[in-house]
Structure 1
Amino acid sequence: SRDDGGMNTQLTGQDSLMSNAALTTFVGRRKELTEARAALSRSRLTTLTGPGGVGKTRLGVEITQRSQRHFKDGTWFVDLGALNRGAPISPAVASALAIPDQSNRTALERVVTFLRDKELLLFLDNCEHVLPGAVEFVHRVLPTAPGVRILTTSREPLNIAGESIYLVPPLGIPSAADEQSDQNLEQFESVAFLVDRARHVIGDFAITPENRRAVIELCGRLDGMPLAIEFAAARLQSMSVTQLLDRLDHRFRLLSRGTRTAQPRHRTLQALIDWSYELCNSEEQLLWQRLTVFPGSFDLDAAEEVCGFGDLNPDLVMNLLDRLVSKSILLAERTGEAVRYRLFMTVREYGAERLVEGAASELRHRHRDCYLRRAETMVSQWCSPRQGEFILRARTERHNSMAALQWSVGTPGELTAATRLAVALRHHWVSDGYLSEGRFWLDRVLGGYDDATASPERGAALWVASWVSLLQGDHEAGAKYLAECRRVATALDDDGLLAHTWHWAGLHNLFTGDLTTAITLYERAVAAHERVGDAGGSLTAQFQLGMAQVFHGDPRIALTTCEHAIQTANKHNELWNRAYALWISGICHWMLGHHEAARIVATEALTIQKHFQDAICTALTIELLSWVAASTRNFPRALELSGAAANVWRGLGTTIGAFGPHIQQISKASANRVQQGLDPEARHSHPYGQRPLSKEEAIAVALTDSPDLSSAGEIDIEPLTRKEWEVAELVARGLTNRQVAQELVVSPRTVDGHVGRILTKLDVTSRMHVASWVEGRRVS
């Protein structure tokens, strides 16, 4: 939502302005652009101030777009208008900058760390209602991130030392004397703006001798305020400029008899919104009021479901939305075939003031129920071809879901619904990387229950909280959540809940290194999920079982597990579990020495991530491709891939070590082999210098053509000497070094040396891996 007129922008993705421009024409403002950009060059914090509707946002967008080439890491837009009054702004900034929420640090800590070495311009729009949070954010960021500059818009300054304040003036207006002159009126910015916007509703609108005086007076009466002119231009669809001026003139004469303490331009805008409101019929006014329940954008279905009740028939909402758009009260934003709507911030505030308390409460209930239903539909239909659609919608509806959660948590009697919503958003927390935020809301709802409460809702919140905390690396908290979940499941005799306690206890043991216990728990969980008909839970437990099996030294068993998971995923046409199962399959093939097969399945997993964008799976799969390159002695490619993976891990705020000691050992061993295999001058090089790669760029690097392993890559056809092969076979039989020495009639010290060289040559870290390699050689 915007507080400024003259702007109808469509910002997609992470709201980066590098590739998105305002949809409407930017008119005039040459002097303001020069002065504001000069202020930005002098100060690391520049605030564009002025009343609502003066055009702060539109000017800020233009400044940001024209400054792109001056910032190595780009220019970024963060709309704070959808935040509740007094809310912290760091989560919104983290979301706009695409900083995944993988760790258990606060959003502010993650943003500060991310920005520390960046050179970028951050545009924070609509700060006035979240000033304390904006001030705290700026105080933390600017001292620690010397390459960052911040541009803000606010109806009042932040009042921070070093802040450069630029008061955005209205558009230039002509005087009465200009009526008789021969000069082109469109040299005045307000007139040019009026003509531009009028042509959106009347294609051939022009200034004529008949309407010249009315145009001059109209722009003067509107004080050159872009939002006021935007509203007025929308009326030209049904009346002439002269008719419009006559009606406005009456409105302003009435207004002038009121208070003299308000600024004239505030009174002008108030008059325009009052008049726009009165020109709406009762149904349009009612919808205007009800639409204020949406903190950000919304779609037609949500508008019909939330606002279509009582005196407003749902069947009327679509036509009423169209009328509000045509009157410039509502903005329509298009992305392909999808259309979403949003209110200007000033317009939303105006409509909200006209809602009576009872109606507001009913709206909040309906709004929450709408997004609860959508979240629970995502859960119930998760194991389906709609996964990508669900995740995209959850990202898009984020502001609405958070507003629904906040209202539910803070409203007596709504704890159960709040819990259901926090639980139903679990795939959003995990797949989109909002782990800290998910943990926050789950802890909030769990804090509302008595410790003795045994309800299905509380039980579900406990296992989801465990999942989230385990992914954060908070293993102790994960175990505590599970212990309580097990107590609740036992009290309820709930088989589905018990299945989840075994499932996530398996993940806890996997991440803490107890693979034998993890395998037992996963096998129990898969069977339990299948008994209660939870296909998605079963699939997730299956690929995680394969992960435990492969690191336990059983790649062939793990491969069978993953093949079954992939077949089941194909049956449901789902991609999330399939991608992870492909990654584990790739590790199995790599451990068996089948490098080309490993590369093929890893590439397939990454191809899925081009569209699904799960950062964890992306980082793990690129790591695997680096191991494959190292094992085939393509050390420069391995370095390139490990560098790409490191970029994704940094973006996640974690490392591969969070996923257990076994995978960390393999990663370290591969990195050591790469360093030993590289030329000395290349060992400390960084493939991408200091420039960070985005997740999409890292995927592109990994998917670029690499040498054909079938010809050049499979160099290690027989890496072991005959004696080393004999030792490896005995190791594969489970003999200790001392037993091998007795079998070969050599000293234990000699066997120790052989085993050390075998581990180095095979690029493995354990005797189990040696056994797997030997078994693979025998089969092949």
Structure 2
Amino acid sequence: MPRVAKFGSFELIVAQRLLTRHGSHVPVGSRGMEILIALVENHGQVLSRDTLMERGWPGLTVEETNLRFQMSLLRKALGDGQGNQQYIQNVVGRGYCLVAPVDWHESGENAEAADKTARNGGKGIRQSRLPAMPGCFIGRDDDARKLVELVETSRLVSIVATGGMGKTTVALATAHRLADRFEGRVHFFDLSPVVDSSSVAGIISSGLGLPPQGGDILSVVAGHLADAHALLILDNCEHLSEAVVSVCERIVEAAPQVHLLATTREPLRALGEHVFRLAPLAIPGKEEPVTAERALASSAVELFMDRAAAGGHREPLTDRDAKIVVDVCRQLDGIALAIELVASRVSTYGIRGIADLLDERINLHWSGQRSAVPRHQTLGAMIDWSFGLLSDTGKRILVRLAIFDGPFTMKAAQAVVQDAKTGLFEVGSQLAGLVEKSLVFTASTASPVQFKLLETTQSYVSAKLSDDRDYDAVALRHAEYQTARLKDDAVEDAIFGGRDMTGYSSSVAGLRSALNWTYKKPEHRVLFVRLAARAAPVFYGLSQLPDCELWSRRGLEKISEEERGTVLELLLLEGLAVASMFSLGNQHFVQESLDRGMAVAEDLGLLEHQLHLLAGQDILMTRVANFNAMANFTNRNSDIATASGKPQALAMVDWMNGVSSHMAGDQKKAVRFLEQGFRHVPVASDLHVDYFGFDHKIRALIALARASWLMGDTQKARKVAVEAIASADRRQRPVSICIAHIYTATVAIWAGDHDTADVWIDRLLATTDRFSLTPYGNVARGLLGQLRVARGEYRQGIIDLTSAILACQSDTHHVLVSAFQRSLAEGHLANGDDDAARDALQAGIDLSERSGGKYDLAAHFVTAAAIETSTGASPVAWLERAVKVARHQSAHHLEMQALIELAVRAEQAEERRRWRGDLAELTRRFPRGATGGIVESAHALLRTGSA
């Protein structure tokens, strides 16, 4: 009889791994349950953290944070700390202890059941011999609890899921938990080996211990069970559905105290059946930040690491590997068997090696345990079992659905799968049947409903599709369907203006597949070009820049003379230009694409396209640091914007003038233009000013923040910078997020707000890595180098800046290179290398003069003065140049920095009075409440005479 531990209001039945409170089940995960049992069995004793981790994660090396996480969940389940009740105490430096008194006793229910069986002399339904509880039961506690409740209230319950999901495991766990309630009369029948459906009743009769029967065996079984209180488990029913339904309905009618629990890959559709669909194991969501601790809290990853350890892998899960394991579990669709089979190979290939192999294609032939039933020894065998049960039509349709590499609708399936043999109605009917058989899943229940194949099934049927003689016909219908879906004006007119493309997100995999196939088929060149042109805005709108660049370029390679000068060519040119600029850098073909695109747009009289392309020219000139040429584009844009009459276009022209003025060094003019643009489209307006992949409102905000800081309005600069970040976050467009963080980070570094700069640069790096925005990633590393130099981490800062400058020069992305050169010079100077400092600074000054980007030229002169001081020369000439330039540009912050240096270094009293007087006058121009290190130094100098 099982022993029961009672503590507080809780009872723990150790053998069943069951915790109850006042008779109600308290859910506790498998790790937490092992830890709780250890604490209860050793109540009053302190168990070390190592002991508890070995108990919860046998054979695994895990971080202590995993134990703390499980302990937190356990305390929450116990209500520890509520109402002054304490069960578990943390003994600092030693471990944990269960401090509540524990009373051990035998299960009274079991004893009563045993006495009753003895009094009956063993007559009636005999005690069962259930298979043992599975040794690995992870992530299914909640399912077992729900099934216990469902079986108690329902006579016939079916557990439905695809193969390998863990139906048998959950059924056995449920049976063990219900054993006492059915007085031990729980019988398990594995029907997977049964071939003849007429044998089902005989199998059950034999399992119940009845003598061999002739005639109507089912009537004998039903009569024998008439007065019995029992639970029958019918495992693996999908290939015997009709026979199982007959047996179940007869028993339910004849034996009112008998309950049945079936496992099957599709509902039995029996009278009174209650279906319990078993979901995949839990996997962290795609938007959640993945750490080892968070990953191990999900059942899929927990099972993966448990099976990996059982196979000999002993390394702890790191945060970096956690992301890989989560991706692997996601590829395996959370299917327990698939995860177990793949994880068993980790000791051979390593976690990264496993991921690489899966990327190539899931290995359907990796073997599992030799003791497993044949259909569970490989993934291929598992799917073979289900595939073999389909009709010929069902097989043909399932194989053809492999053409969809992602979700698809009923309409898409009918358009692609139907042929002369299989009409639209038949496709719809068969698809519904495949869903019931758990071979196809509903990916979304929104309208229209979307379906998908699991990755494992996809791999299996894809191999069959490639060998299908009708493959080309199916692939052609698929490509034509994808092209037709993108034919509407909403896509063709989207250009790259920020239109919401999320409705097409499920089409990305299908578009890639159709483009790949048509690209390789010369006879379908026209279809390929049309599809590539219509897909470009979709790829860009969904931040799939590598796809946008690749297929736009290939589309232009395949375009015919007749198609040149059409909207198709224009879309491809825009796609190539915008995607290449943001993902590959400012290569020569970006300018060529913009020029050719403008010519086509002018010939076609498409004003909106012209505005986009001129915006692209302006952005390109900014990125390559050709600020002298920017005015030409803004003047031309002004004429087109006026012709369009749109407030967004008029605002964009003002903002482009503002950005150009800011970069050229006229901050007063910059602020005037920028604020004028916000009169056309206020900050709070719902209008979006999206041209050529940029949200120009965000671009204007960051320019306004920088110009405001240079002019001395630190509070406004901070407020506008925060609004730029918030606007980018609201839009959730990667390019806008990048530019917002790049240029607000520069303001934070200027202001000495290193913590804020650190946060913004970290978010920038995460975005560039996630969306393959390599040029912005190089800029981010340059900003990181600037921050490190500002913090005094000179050696690492020099390394970061040197690498970033080379990468930006390779990308022809020069906009911040001059500033990076100055920071590099400051790093070398602090390291005592005056020559390297002078060379780096001179390169920065040369670039500023050559490009016309003189907004921080005064800061270069201040750094030059510091280099002169280091070599024993006078810095005064450089500082006076800095004052002159900054004053001309209304860059009051930079002017203040140079004046402080002059006032401190002045040797003559008359010079000191002059510079202090200029400094005092300048401070009065700063808005009240202006803050920052430079402002505070100026006030300190004026108060005390020293900086």
When the two structures are superposed, what TM-score results if normalisation uses the length of structure 2? Answer: 0.45
| Partner residue of 1:36 out of 306, 311, 316 | 311
Question: Are the counterparts in 2 of residues 171 and 225 from structure 1 also a CA contact under 8 Å?
Answer: yes
Letter in 2 for 1:446: L
State the distance in 2 between where 1:373 and 1:441 align.
Answer: 17
Quote the residue 2:355 is aligned against: 124
Question: Are the counterparts in 2 of residues 76 and 122 from structure 1 also a CA contact under 8 Å?
Answer: no
State the distance in 1 between where 2:495 and 2:592 align.
Answer: 30
Q: CA deviation at 1:598?
A: 2.7
Q: Does 1:441 align with 2:551?
A: yes
Quote the residue 1:77 is aligned against: 327
Aligned CA distance change for structure 1 residues 318 and 169 (closer, same or farther; 3 Å): same
State the distance in 2 between where 1:20 and 1:379 align.
Answer: 42
Q: Which digits, 9 at most, give the CA deviation of each residue in 1:174-223, with x for residues without a partner?
A: xxxxxxxxxxxxxxxx5xxxxxxxxxxxxxxxxxxxxxxxxxxxxxxx54
Question: Are the counterparts in 2 of residues 629 and 638 from structure 1 also a CA contact under 8 Å?
Answer: yes
Question: Are the counterparts in 2 of residues 15 and 77 from structure 1 also a CA contact under 8 Å?
Answer: no
> Which residues of 2 match residues 217-228 of structure 1 at below 5 A?
223-225=375-377
Quote the residue 2:513 is aligned against: 403
Q: Does 1:154 align with 2:268?
A: no
State the distance in 2 between where 1:30 and 1:616 align.
Answer: 37
Quote the residue 2:286 is aligned against: 13
Q: Does 1:369 align with 2:369?
A: no
Quote the residue 1:593 is aligned against: 712
Aligned CA distance change for structure 1 residues 658 and 533 (closer, same or farther; 3 Å): farther
Secondary structure of 2:387 counterpart: helix
| Partner residue of 1:622 out of 736, 741, 760 | 741
Aligned CA distance change for structure 1 residues 502 and 303 (closer, same or farther; 3 Å): same
Quote the residue 2:391 is aligned against: 277
Q: Does 1:515 align with 2:627?
A: yes
Letter in 1 for 2:714: H
Question: Are the counterparts in 2 of residues 79 and 126 from structure 1 also a CA contact under 8 Å?
Answer: no
Letter in 1 for 2:368: P
Quote the residue 1:458 is aligned against: 569
Q: CA deviation at 1:457?
A: 1.4
Q: Which digits, 9 at most, give the CA deviation of each residue in 1:549-572, with x for residues without a partner?
A: 432333223413541564499344
Count of aligned residue pairs for this structure pair: 524
Aligned CA distance change for structure 1 residues 24 and 749 (closer, same or farther; 3 Å): closer
State the distance in 1 between where 2:787 and 2:385 align.
Answer: 73
State the distance in 1 between where 2:408 and 2:609 align.
Answer: 34
Question: Are the counterparts in 2 of residues 522 and 545 from structure 1 also a CA contact under 8 Å?
Answer: yes
Aligned CA distance change for structure 1 residues 538 and 31 (closer, same or farther; 3 Å): same
Aligned CA distance change for structure 1 residues 509 and 558 (closer, same or farther; 3 Å): same
State the distance in 1 between where 2:795 and 2:303 align.
Answer: 52
State the distance in 1 between where 2:567 and 2:757 align.
Answer: 48
State the distance in 2 between where 1:778 and 1:29 align.
Answer: 61
Question: Are the counterparts in 2 of residues 489 and 497 from structure 1 also a CA contact under 8 Å?
Answer: yes
State the distance in 1 between where 2:445 and 2:282 align.
Answer: 8
Aligned CA distance change for structure 1 residues 568 and 629 (closer, same or farther; 3 Å): closer
Q: Which has the larger radius of gyration?
A: 2
Q: CA deviation at 1:342?
A: 1.9
State the distance in 1 between where 2:464 and 2:776 align.
Answer: 50
> Which residues of 2 match residues 124-273 of structure 1 at below 5 A?
124=355, 127=358, 130=360, 153-155=362-364, 167-169=366-368, 172-173=371-372, 190=373, 223-225=375-377, 270=384, 272-273=386-387
Q: Does 1:291 align with 2:401?
A: yes
Q: CA deviation at 1:582?
A: 3.3
Question: Are the counterparts in 2 of residues 383 and 535 from structure 1 also a CA contact under 8 Å?
Answer: no
Structure 1, unmatched stretches of 5+, are 42-65, 83-118, 132-152, 157-166, 174-189, 191-221, 229-264, 690-730, 733-747
Aligned CA distance change for structure 1 residues 508 and 308 (closer, same or farther; 3 Å): same
Quote the residue 1:91 is aligned against: none
Question: Are the counterparts in 1 of residues 328 and 355 from structure 2 also a CA contact under 8 Å?
Answer: yes
C-alpha RMSD of matched pairs (Å): 5.6
Q: CA deviation at 1:330?
A: 0.8
Aligned CA distance change for structure 1 residues 72 and 658 (closer, same or farther; 3 Å): closer
Q: Does 1:753 align with 2:867?
A: no
Q: Which digits, 9 at most, give the CA deviation of each residue in 1:407-448, with x for residues without a partner?
A: 333334644553444444445555665434322222211111
Aligned CA distance change for structure 1 residues 656 and 546 (closer, same or farther; 3 Å): farther
| Partner residue of 1:481 out of 585, 593, 609 | 593
Q: Which digits, 9 at most, give the CA deviation of each residue in 1:545-601, with x for residues without a partner?
A: 543343233322341354156449934468872444433343343344333233233
Q: Does 1:329 align with 2:439?
A: yes
Q: Does 1:525 align with 2:637?
A: yes
State the distance in 2 between where 1:286 and 1:556 align.
Answer: 66
Aligned CA distance change for structure 1 residues 774 and 350 (closer, same or farther; 3 Å): farther
Aligned CA distance change for structure 1 residues 775 and 754 (closer, same or farther; 3 Å): same
Q: Which digits, 9 at most, give the CA deviation of each residue in 1:318-351, with x for residues without a partner?
A: 6654431111221334599986422512145446
Quote the residue 1:556 is aligned against: 671
Secondary structure of 1:75 counterpart: helix
State the distance in 2 between where 1:765 and 1:428 align.
Answer: 49
State the distance in 2 between where 1:657 and 1:454 align.
Answer: 35
Question: Are the counterparts in 2 of residues 306 and 363 from structure 1 also a CA contact under 8 Å?
Answer: yes
Secondary structure of 2:391 counterpart: helix
Aligned CA distance change for structure 1 residues 596 and 566 (closer, same or farther; 3 Å): farther
Aligned CA distance change for structure 1 residues 9 and 632 (closer, same or farther; 3 Å): same
Which structure carries more relative contact order (alpha carbon 8 Å, separation 6+)?
A: 1
Question: Are the counterparts in 1 of residues 749 and 757 from structure 2 also a CA contact under 8 Å?
Answer: yes
Secondary structure of 2:685 counterpart: helix
Secondary structure of 1:276 counterpart: coil
State the distance in 1 between where 2:305 and 2:620 align.
Answer: 60
Q: Which digits, 9 at most, give the CA deviation of each residue in 1:520-546, with x for residues without a partner?
A: 313433653674689988877775554
Q: CA deviation at 1:766?
A: 13
Aligned CA distance change for structure 1 residues 650 and 80 (closer, same or farther; 3 Å): closer
Aligned CA distance change for structure 1 residues 455 and 523 (closer, same or farther; 3 Å): same
Quote the residue 1:244 is aligned against: none
State the distance in 1 between where 2:411 and 2:924 align.
Answer: 56
Q: Which digits, 9 at most, give the CA deviation of each residue in 1:624-679, with x for residues without a partner?
A: 443443444445544554565456556656456988xxx99xx88x9869846x5x
Q: Which digits, 9 at most, give the CA deviation of each residue in 1:713-770, with x for residues without a partner?
A: xxxxxxxxxxxxxxxxxx99xxxxxxxxxxxxxxx99675334267598248999xx9
Quote the residue 2:494 is aligned against: 380
Secondary structure of 1:550 counterpart: helix
Q: Does 1:604 align with 2:723?
A: yes
Structure 2, unmatched stretches of 5+, are 1-161, 167-279, 333-349, 801-853, 856-873, 899-917, 929-947
Quote the residue 1:583 is aligned against: 702
Q: Percent identity?
A: 13
Secondary structure of 1:480 counterpart: helix
Letter in 2 for 1:512: V
Letter in 1 for 2:363: S
Secondary structure of 1:473 counterpart: coil
Question: Are the counterparts in 1 of residues 738 and 767 from structure 2 also a CA contact under 8 Å?
Answer: yes
State the distance in 2 between where 1:470 and 1:296 align.
Answer: 29
Aligned CA distance change for structure 1 residues 491 and 416 (closer, same or farther; 3 Å): farther
> Which piece of structure 1 moves more, 422-431 or 19-28?
19-28
State the distance in 1 between where 2:763 and 2:414 align.
Answer: 45
